[in-house]
Amino acid sequence: NPFAGNTPQDVTERQGENAIFIVYKLNQSPDSVEKVKDVCANFSALIRSMRNRFPDAQFSSTISFGADVWDRIFPGKGRPKELEVFKEIKGSKQIAVSTPGDILFHIRAKQMGLCYEFASIIDEKLKGAVEAIDETHGFRYMDGKAIIGFVDGTESPAVDENPYHFAVVGEEDPDFAGGSYVFVQKYIHDMDAWNALSVEEQEKVIGRRKFNDVELSDEEKPANAHNAVANIGDDLKIVRANMPFANTAKREYGTYFIGYASTFSTTRQMLESMFIGNPVGNTDRLLDFSTAITGTLFFAPSYDFLGEE
């Protein structure tokens, strides 16, 4: 295989029905590192067990690590070329903030109960080694829509477009072949402002039809539509698995953005196009209704790399 014989984690799966995103901070003590290494060494077995117990549940999970803890967990093994603490992107309207995070779990399954089951197994194993930074529960909404009512994920590379090519590191960084750069951002939407737009105006923000997901024609699509701004070329794609989340009583409505990429520079270029604009000033209209409250970069090593610990 093109990943020097390494098996990637489940970085090209579809969004799924339910997801739990957990971001942990790693504690300072050396035994914290030992606990994490133990989870790494057993990670594929833990997933295998879930799939064995619930064969029809479309269960998957990834584990990934931030730049601040990489050398503690994998000492002497070098570092993926583009793994760094995410540097914030300051646009004229909004900042793509950088927020802390050492370990990310992205857990997907048909039933939320199975996501919880796996999360609780992991959390038990990591007791004392980590502190919670964030946990977000995402759900599939209608026909795969973001909470703002538009189908999300359509142009994300799938089976026929070789998603591994876009999501997984290859020969360009041989020591880390089979790994993937994972970028997450938690967005909160201003639904009052969004709902005040007509459907036609909303369609111009996204660049697609609300009812049936059909793309607007080049004539209809404004230059600052989200899918115009985020499309930076056919060779520069990432695999997205965003999920809506909500707390209706608190009037909190959001999108948990997650993108897996073979090079982080691709994801970063998309973010710069959205927040700064290309040309400068052509910022993403979607950002007028969406605020990024987190932004963290992780690296999901191959199963082989995880197992070596």
Binding site for ligand HEM (CB under 6 A): 146, 148, 150-156, 185, 187, 206, 208, 226-227, 230-231, 255, 257, 259, 267, 270-271, 286, 290
- Complex with ligand HEM: residue 164 or 187, whichever CB lies closer: 187
Q: In terms of CB distance, is 57 or 225 closer to ligand HEM?
A: 225
Least CB distance to ligand HEM at residue 62 (A): 18
Our CB check for ligand HEM shows the closer of 187 and 303 to be: 187
* CB-nearer residue toward ligand HEM: 69 or 101: 101
Asked if 237 contacts 266 with a C-beta cutoff of 8 angstroms, the reply is yes
Q: Catalytic pick from 10, 152, 190, 235?
A: 152
CB 274 to ligand HEM: min, Å: 6
Query: In whole angstroms, how close is the CB of 289 to ligand HEM at the nearest point?
Result: 8
Tokens of 268: 């970063």
152 labelled catalytic: yes
Q: What is the spatial distance between Cα 65 and Cα 152, in angstroms, rounded to a whole number?
A: 26
**Residue 309 CB, nearest distance to ligand HEM (Å)?**
30
In SS3 terms, 71-135 reads as HHHCCCCCCCCCCCCCCCEECCCCEECCCCCCEEEEEEECCHHHHHHHHHHHHHHCCCCEEEEEE
CB of 136 to ligand HEM, least distance (A): 13
Instruction: DSSP letter for 38, please.
Output: H
Q: Between 68 and 155, whose beta carbon lies closer to ligand HEM?
A: 155
Which residues neighbour 301 within 8 Å (Cβ) at sequence distance 6 or greater? 9, 64, 65, 74, 80, 176, 178, 179
Angle at 245 between CA 243 and CA 56, to 5 degrees: 55
Q: Which helix (H) or strand (E) holds 4?
A: none
In this structure, the strands spanning 252-261 and 95-96 are unpaired
Chain residue at closest Cβ approach to ligand HEM:
155
User: Which residues form the catalytic set?
Assistant: 152
